[in-house]
A and B are shown apart, each in its own frame.
Chain A
Amino acid sequence: MSSIQLASDSESPVLQAKNLKRVFKSPLGKQSLVRAVDGVSLELRKGETVGLLGETGCGKSTLAELMAGLQDPSEGEVVFQGFPLNKKSSKSQWRELRQRVQIMFQNPFDSVDPRYRVMDILTEPLEVNGVRAPERRDRAIAALETMKLTPPAEFIDRYPHEMSGGQLQRVCIARALMLNPSVLIADEPVSMLDISVRAGILILLDELKNTRNMGILHISHDISTLVAVSDRLLVMYLGKIVESGSTEVLVSSPAHPYLRVLLNSVPTVHDTLFTKGERELTLKGDIPDPSNIPDGCSLWPRCPLAVEKCKIETPKLKPLDQMKTHRVACHMAHTDDH
């Protein structure tokens, strides 16, 4: 492989979402539709961690499942290594995606079969993909070592209930890595764990990014964690990305009122992570019913900066800088001197 190809390899995204939409029929009324994911485009490159920040019900977990091929989009497509995946794609293409793009969840106890031993949990993906038994065991032991669950002999025959949440979450990461994926989608990987064990999981994910050159999509509602671990950040509100850019830029000059409020309002332990801005800037009320999203900008009823235009016209995600890396979907951000 030539060096030019290598360079373009690291530049081109390994996993992309192109205008992904997922609409659910609301059980409450035939008329109402829930637009869980409403036209999201994103790019994930190898060796980078992208943080997806959003609150409950914003559609971030649905987006995760769409990206992993666990749900079919209503519109748009997932592009893996340049190949779009849709209804026309062959079985082997989907198989490739499901092997190379792995996902892990918030609650490890819900993500494994309680009657499986660690050995079974780790070797199942290998078995499905036709790896022979002796090799399976060796690879499971190696995976436990990578996850710092040592000595592996002590863990390999345990049942999930015989482990702590932090240990089982490591097993879940190990399972996700058994097929050497190029992308790991981590949906709230530490939010159920106690503070003192969170760091261990975050460090592990960071090492995997560097040593295996993996792309990690880290989904969370926890701003501090995402700011600490992400190279880039995406901010999601009611199914849409409202701001994206490098983490440094987003925390130092957030442009969307939603992100500005989030950064101001989160109670932090250390003041050194990011500086807080205008305390008085807050949002009114609560997140609206996702089956009844307001017209125009979906934030306007809560937004302190909203004007008439916001109620009528939906703002597009447009670049703010010349490099086109910092993008924001807000009329006000594009009119004033932000």
Chain B
Amino acid sequence: MSILSVDSISVEYQTLSDAVRAVQGVSLNLKEAQILGLAGESGCGKSTLAKAILRLLPETGIVVSGKINFKGKDLLRLSTSEFRELRWQILAYIPQNALNSLDPVYRVGDQVVEAILAHERVSRNAALDRARQLFSNVHLDERSLRAYPHQLSGGMRQRVLIAMAMALDPPIVIIDEPTTALDVVTQAQVLSELISMRNRTSSGMLYISHDLGAIRQLCNDVAVMYAGLIIETGNVGDIYGEPLHPYTMGLLNSVPKSRGAKRLVSIPGAPPNLRSEIQGCAFHPRCPFRDTRCVKETPKLYEISQTRSVACHYHHKAKNFRILAEDPNIWQMPEPREAVMSDFKEDIVP
């Protein structure tokens, strides 16, 4: 059953002269106990989408159209105070940078207790008991409750945030790149905390990441974003095993499969400028399989099966494309293209 449904939402960042269309009519459904990975490179709109759901967009970011439904309510129509009631209780958030997300002058235990007391009428002791339980769930020592954020390591702080997010057992949790700033071993530990959390609750989770390996390990389903659009969705096995969209194929082939750099695929060019209207398929300038139809006509999100959809006119040729896409030379096309967006990791908010 769907608990959160995002219905063709569009977000723009206003600048002095024009607008950047960061998210362009994206729809998705989050089901109970589902972990949906939102994959994509910098500037594809994945974080903007999350922030729009959480109402954490900066002032320049405006939701221009669409609906976000939770139990028949449109979250976008709620007043600020109504929405505040929902935070933590219905909609929890695990942000990327744990140090910036905790108050440096409060003990972390008190911060968890405060979140519980703000939403539930329980005694302080009961809240503290729950905090203790939450900490032990994420393998944090009880003594950590009395620690200040700076006394904890990066991995421990991230676990505090996971514990806090789960404090009120929310039906929806949005997780934004929780492992980027962490070491490999710590990353693996945080991922395993998230996996055990997945097995403990029935919360639906939206996991936003550029890390295709982490998504593969943690999520049930994936939505791949490119240039403000969802271009492919499906369960993890299908997406990683039999991608249908050329962009997904290129992305997966650009990650090492075997030894030797020669076999790596590099997708030429850069994502399109989101300040102007995109003609045809957003990926066509970089796609080795494009033809005139791709240049003129924007593909809709074709439904392939109940669980799969793809925004490519030629999805029925995907099997051939997959074989061709293994060859790095296929991707090298003659004319160079203007880079209009930086290919840096950080999402760039104009």
Which residues of the other chain, A, contact B217 by a CB distance below 8 angstroms?
A: 267
Q: Which of B250, B328, B343, B344 contacts A203 (CB 8 A)?
A: B328
A286-B259 contact given A55-B183, A266-B184, CB 8 Å threshold: no
- Nearest chain-B residue to A265 (Cβ)? B188
Q: Which of A154, A165, A195, A200 contacts B255 (CB 8 A)?
A: A195
Q: A150–B217 Cα gap in the complex (Å)?
A: 39
Stretch of A220-228, A290-298, A313-321, A327-335 lying at the B interface: A220-228
Task: Contact check, B210 vs A282: say whether CB atoms are below 8 A apart.
Answer: no
User: Which B residues between 234 and 286 are near A, CB-CB below 8 angstroms?
Assistant: 240, 250-252, 254-262, 264-268, 270
Per-position contact with B for A254-266: 1 when CB-CB < 8 Å, else 0? 0000000110011
| B342 contacts chain A at the CB level, 8 A cutoff | yes
Which residues of the other chain, B, contact A248 by a CB distance below 8 angstroms?
A: 259
Task: Contact check, A166 vs B343: say whether CB atoms are below 8 A apart.
Answer: yes
Task: Contact check, B343 vs A228: say whether CB atoms are below 8 A apart.
Answer: no
| B34 contacts chain A at the CB level, 8 A cutoff | no
- Nearest chain-B residue to A55 (Cβ)? B183
Q: A56–B266 Cα gap in the complex (Å)?
A: 27
Task: Contact check, A223 vs B240: say whether CB atoms are below 8 A apart.
Answer: no
Which residues of the other chain, B, contact A228 by a CB distance below 8 angstroms?
A: 256, 258-261, 264
A165-B343 contact given A202-B261, A267-B216, A282-B185, CB 8 Å threshold: yes
Q: Which of A164, A165, A200, A262 contacts B184 (CB 8 A)?
A: A262
Which residues of the other chain, B, contact A225 by a CB distance below 8 angstroms?
A: 256
Which residues of the other chain, A, contact B213 by a CB distance below 8 angstroms?
A: 224, 266-269
- Nearest chain-B residue to A285 (Cβ)? B153
| B155 contacts chain A at the CB level, 8 A cutoff | yes
A286-B184 contact given A164-B342, A267-B191, CB 8 Å threshold: no
A194-B210 contact given A224-B255, A270-B255, CB 8 Å threshold: yes
User: Which B residues between 206 and 244 are near A, CB-CB below 8 angstroms?
Assistant: 210-214, 216-217, 240
- Nearest chain-A residue to B152 (Cβ)? A286
Task: Contact check, A206 vs B261: say whether CB atoms are below 8 A apart.
Answer: yes
Task: Contact check, A203 vs B264: say whether CB atoms are below 8 A apart.
Answer: yes
Which residues of the other chain, A, contact B266 by a CB distance below 8 angstroms?
A: 196-200, 203
A267-B189 contact given A193-B344, A195-B251, CB 8 Å threshold: no
B290 CB to closest chain A CB, in angstroms?
16
| B336 contacts chain A at the CB level, 8 A cutoff | yes
User: Which A residues between 179 and 202 are near B, CB-CB below 8 angstroms?
Assistant: 192-200, 202
A56-B183 contact given A196-B250, A228-B258, A228-B260, CB 8 Å threshold: yes
Q: A221–B184 Cα gap in the complex (Å)?
A: 8
| B345 contacts chain A at the CB level, 8 A cutoff | yes
Q: A248–B258 Cα gap in the complex (Å)?
A: 11
| A142 contacts chain B at the CB level, 8 A cutoff | no
Which residues of the other chain, A, contact B265 by a CB distance below 8 angstroms?
A: 199
Task: Contact check, A286 vs B153: say whether CB atoms are below 8 A apart.
Answer: yes
Task: Contact check, B186 vs A286: say whether CB atoms are below 8 A apart.
Answer: yes
Which residues of the other chain, A, contact B41 by a CB distance below 8 angstroms?
A: 194-196
A114 CB to closest chain B CB, in angstroms?
14
| A167 contacts chain B at the CB level, 8 A cutoff | yes
User: Which A residues between 127 and 186 are near B, CB-CB below 8 angstroms?
Assistant: 150-151, 154, 163-167
Q: A157–B151 Cα gap in the complex (Å)?
A: 49
- Nearest chain-A residue to B186 (Cβ)? A286
| A31 contacts chain B at the CB level, 8 A cutoff | no
Task: Contact check, A269 vs B240: say whether CB atoms are below 8 A apart.
Answer: yes
| B349 contacts chain A at the CB level, 8 A cutoff | no
- Nearest chain-A residue to B182 (Cβ)? A56
Task: Contact check, B267 vs A265: say whether CB atoms are below 8 A apart.
Answer: no
Q: Which of A56, A151, A203, A282 contacts B189 (CB 8 A)?
A: A282
Which residues of the other chain, A, contact B264 by a CB distance below 8 angstroms?
A: 199, 202-203, 228
Q: A261–B188 Cα gap in the complex (Å)?
A: 10
- Nearest chain-B residue to A209 (Cβ)? B261
Task: Contact check, B341 vs A164: say whether CB atoms are below 8 A apart.
Answer: yes
Which residues of the other chain, B, contact A223 by a CB distance below 8 angstroms?
A: 184
Task: Contact check, A229 vs B261: say whether CB atoms are below 8 A apart.
Answer: yes
| A112 contacts chain B at the CB level, 8 A cutoff | no
| A44 contacts chain B at the CB level, 8 A cutoff | no
Which of A's residues lie within 8 Å of B, judged by CB? Answer: 55-56, 150-151, 154, 163-167, 192-200, 202-203, 205-206, 221, 223-225, 227-229, 247-248, 261-262, 265-270, 272-273, 282-283, 286-287
Given A203-B261, A203-B264, A221-B184, 9 new contacts (CB under 8 A): A56-B183, A193-B344, A194-B41, A194-B42, A197-B343, A199-B265, A228-B258, A270-B255, A286-B155
6 nearest A-B residue pairs (beta carbon): A265-B188, A228-B256, A267-B213, A200-B266, A199-B264, A164-B339
**Mind listing 9 A-B residue pairs with CB under 8 Å?**
A165-B342, A165-B343, A196-B266, A206-B262, A267-B187, A267-B213, A270-B256, A273-B257, A286-B155
Which of B's residues lie within 8 Å of A, judged by CB? Answer: 41-42, 153-156, 183-189, 191, 210-214, 216-217, 240, 250-252, 254-262, 264-268, 270, 328, 336, 339, 341-345
